[in-house]
Amino acid sequence: MNLAEFIEGSRDQHLAELYDFLRIPSISAKTEHKPDIERGARWVADHLRTAGFKSVEIVPTGLHPLVYAESLEAPGKPTILFYGHYDVQPPEPLELWTSPPFQPTVRDGNLFGRGTADDKGQVHIHVKALESLHKLHGKFPVNIKVLIEGEEEVGSVSLWNYVQSHKEKLQADALLVSDTSMLAKGVPSITYGLRGLNYYQIELTGPIRDLHSGVYGGAVPNPLTILAELFAKLHDKNFRVAIPGFYDNVAKISAAERKALNSLPWKKKDFEKAVGAPGYDGEKGFTIVERLWTRPTLEINGIWGGYIGEGAKTVIPSKAFAKLSTRLVPNQDPRKIAKLVEKHVRKLLPKSVHCKLDVLSSGKPWVAPYHAPIFQKAQAALEKGFGKRAVFIREGGSIPFVTQMHDTFKVPCVLIGFGLPDENAHAPDEHIALENYFGGIKAIAHFYADLATL
């Protein structure tokens, strides 16, 4: 039996196994799902053992456990570190799912469920690719280290400590990640840039308790009104972030890169279909692709406070809350940006409210050259899996570990994504195209095999 036959002949088993993984609601943001997170870690550890790894450990951290496995039995061959995450985003709003988030279901060639694209489905692609190689040859073609964490969706906070205290252990010739997207269906893609992310929470407190809005209204500060006024001032009319210094260190992209990015087979029509808004806005002077991949932003992710229940309640809330984030690009420094944001927010707020501002997570942007030979091998492998030449893209999302690794070890980071931009990551009806899942297993198996001659 050859590799293709092995993969093709077990399609149903592969899927059935992925279903099991997807049924575990390993939601890292919610304390009540701690047991599911632990179950998720155990599932990964067990299946890495089945795939052929003899050394597998579940490492407890300050928050959620990570899974580390290694097989260093290919002397003289390169060592590849594969990274992914087994945690998922909360599934709410539940009523907008066509089938329940943790009951994987196939419809129209797509597998639906939370984590199908981000990132369990993509992690499983690697597990199955490696298992296929091990079953066929009785060993792995290269030395492999695997790190699958459970905190990616909440900012990979514990991972940084782990990396710092296990540098030797994680040392590799290259990092391999599948937690990104393809440019479009049928366009295999290698991602060479990600935005960084600072995530903030604001708590405004005015009155010491909620007040009757008739008895007190008109003479007291309303934290919700003040929050709305604050947010209205954070962008200018050209959709630029109106925080002094915010753009100071933004690197200008070269004319050549600009041209390359704008000539990719990226379709505005697909983008607009995926978003479905009545109209579009963005920073003046940049194309949509440039806005998404090369420009920093500030977004409000949630606002709450006061009365939001049924009917009316005349109340002036004591508190108003918001979650916001800044996406960062080279060469913005997350710490510096956090200081600028806090300084400006405090400057804009009136003295009538108290403001608590927390930075919940912070991660640097990442952009790296793709000349190293491993990138040609990645292209060749993708061609084997998808019959098409891969393109090099940047993306707007963030994966804190990629920057950490790149900064720490200065090795090539190869990001091969099998998701699609319209597969509803973080939203209801998340899915992965079965053709990408199976094409992915094939491509990744060829990639690991080919890396033996790197």
Residue ranges binding ligand BES (CB under 6 A): 118-119, 152-153, 155, 179-181, 194, 197, 361, 363, 395, 397-400
Q: Which positions ≥6 away from 40 have C-beta within 8 Å? A: 21, 24, 26, 86, 87, 150
Pick what 155 binds: Mn ion, ligand BES, none; C-beta below 5 to 8 Å, kind-dependent.
Answer: ligand BES
**Inter-CA distances, 6 with 1, 136, 388, Å:** 6, 8, 22
* In the complex, minimum distance from the CB of residue 425 to ligand BES, in angstroms, rounded to a whole number: 6
Pick what 189 binds: ligand BES, Mn ion, none; C-beta below 5 to 8 Å, kind-dependent.
Answer: none
* Cβ proximity to Mn ion, 159 vs 449, nearer residue: 159
* Cβ proximity to ligand BES, 283 vs 422, nearer residue: 422
The answer to whether 21 and 448 are in contact (CB under 8 A) is no
* In the complex, minimum distance from the CB of residue 181 to ligand BES, in angstroms, rounded to a whole number: 5
* In the complex, minimum distance from the CB of residue 85 to Mn ion, in angstroms, rounded to a whole number: 6
The answer to whether 20 and 43 are in contact (CB under 8 A) is yes
* Cβ proximity to Mn ion, 94 vs 427, nearer residue: 427
Subset of residues 143 to 202 that bind Mn ion, contact rule: CB under 5 A: 179
Pick what 287 binds: Mn ion, ligand BES, none; C-beta below 5 to 8 Å, kind-dependent.
Answer: none
* 77, two tokens: 């061959």
Residue 430 contacts Mn ion per CB under 5 A:
no
Helix axes 434-450, 11-22, angle to 10 degrees: 110
Residue tagged 């993984």 (tokens): 21
* In the complex, minimum distance from the CB of residue 205 to Mn ion, in angstroms, rounded to a whole number: 32
Pick what 197 binds: ligand BES, Mn ion, none; C-beta below 5 to 8 Å, kind-dependent.
Answer: ligand BES
Angle formed at CA 45 by CA 40 and CA 48, multiple of 5 degrees: 125
Q: Which residue is nearest to ligand BES (CB)?
A: 397
* Cβ proximity to ligand BES, 77 vs 291, nearer residue: 291
What does the CA dihedral 36, 38, 41, 42 come to, rounded to 10 degrees?
-100
CB-CB neighbours of 8 under 10 Å:
13
The answer to whether 171 and 409 are in contact (CB under 8 A) is yes
* Cβ proximity to Mn ion, 85 vs 319, nearer residue: 85
Residues in the chain: 454
How many chain residues bind Mn ion (CB under 5 A)?
3
* In the complex, minimum distance from the CB of residue 442 to ligand BES, in angstroms, rounded to a whole number: 22
* In the complex, minimum distance from the CB of residue 368 to ligand BES, in angstroms, rounded to a whole number: 14
* CA dist., res. 185 & res. 422, Å (int): 10
Binding mask 105-144 for Mn ion (x = CB under 5 A): -------------xx-------------------------
Pick what 141 binds: ligand BES, Mn ion, none; C-beta below 5 to 8 Å, kind-dependent.
Answer: none
Q: Roughly how many angstroms between the first and final C-alpha of the chain, as a whole number? A: 25
Residue 87 contacts Mn ion per CB under 5 A:
no
* CA dist., res. 231 & res. 324, Å (int): 10
Pick what 143 binds: Mn ion, ligand BES, none; C-beta below 5 to 8 Å, kind-dependent.
Answer: none
SS3 state at 319: strand
* Cβ proximity to ligand BES, 70 vs 152, nearer residue: 152
Mark residue 154 as left, alpha or beta (left: phi above 0; alpha: psi -120 to 50; beta: remaining). alpha
Binding stretches for Mn ion (CB under 5 A): 118-119, 179
